[in-house]
Amino acid sequence: MLKIPEHKIPITELKTNFDVRIFIKREDLIHPKISGNKFWKLFFNVNQYLETHPVNPLLITFGGAYSNHIASVSAFGKEFAISTIGIIRGDELKNNWQENPTLSEASKNGMQFYFVSRADYQNKEKVTGKFSNRYPNALIIPEGGSNGSAVQGMQYILGNDTKDFDYLCTAVGTGGTIAGISKFAEAHQKVLGIKVVRDDSLETTIFPWSGKENFELKDADENRYGKISDENVRFINWFYKEYQIPLDPIYTGKMMQTIFELAEKGFFPKGSKILAFHTGGLQGIKGVNQLLKSKGRNLIDFGKFQF
């Protein structure tokens, strides 16, 4: 069975001029390749699966061209000697995926790819059924990794070092991370999710997993998934120069930018202690910079820091 990592994840206070104290928990440091919340989402899913499928295990999952989830599942498979298959959105990538940094790295980790059209990809039930028939003993993990088992795994993102905070904050994509934080938060804590997607159904998705009403969702300024504004890039570059902490442009960059904006507007009560979770995703920066460069836009630049 897979063991829980034993090393301590640092919590860093960010010096600001706000009337609140803002901290960030560096879950991106939990593993060099299986980053942040992705580790915990996979942890429970794979452990439960291995209890009944210890021989020739296979993980199948879904994702786009720059998916953190695809990257993490492939790295997870390599780390624990489990075969992996990625069902990739966009059959236009079939002949040139080697130029994509995320898919290229996932392939090096041993992941096999099946490329499906964007239209077919939308019908997850049909695609899942097809692969279930082809690989009946595989564990098929949903896009983003969010399900009931993932929510259970998220309890490990919390601990004695998170109990004294008034607010627990995370970026929200598919809802599993915030559901787990909400489910296992202390009674006095409020959970704030920063939406990076336009999905009005998220609240109804999260509540059954959490079972609590202690969470609130706020839209990021640019919450279309994968869309990155020049202001997003400016904030990420400024944040790194100010705090020497790299953020990604899809999740944590938008989350921290929104938290700062809310603090400046007085959303949080004076004196609040706010903890934001750095959920990883830095691998996607190479691909994002490729796109930004092709459009003649400013790049995410961390100097000598390698991502």
Q: Mean pLDDT across the chain, nearest whole number?
A: 92
* Mean pLDDT, residues 84-94: 92
Q: Helices 230-243 and 252-264: crossing angle, nearest 10°?
A: 80
Question: Is it the case that residue 307 has pLDDT exceeding 70?
Answer: no
pTM (global) more than 0.75:
yes
Pick the closest to residue 291 from 116, 144, 102, 36 (CA basis): 102
What is the DSSP annotation of 161-190? GGTT-SEEEEEESSSHHHHHHHHHS-TT-E
pLDDT confidence of residue 152: 93
Least confident of 14-18, 92-96, 131-135, 162-166: 92-96
Least confident of 20-24, 35-39, 203-207, 256-260: 35-39
Asked if 254 contacts 171 with a C-beta cutoff of 8 angstroms, the reply is yes
Helix (H) or strand (E) holding 139, with range, is strand 139-141
Q: What percent of the chain has pLDDT over 90?
A: 73
Least confident of 167-181, 212-226, 251-265: 212-226
As a whole number of angstroms, the distance between CA 219 and CA 213 comes to 18
Per-residue pLDDT tens digits for 34-87: 888 998 999 889 988 998 888 899 999 999 988 999 999 999 999 999 999 999
| Residue with the larger pLDDT of the pair 224 and 286 | 286
Q: How far is CA 274 from the centre of its chain?
A: 20
pLDDT confidence of residue 110: 97
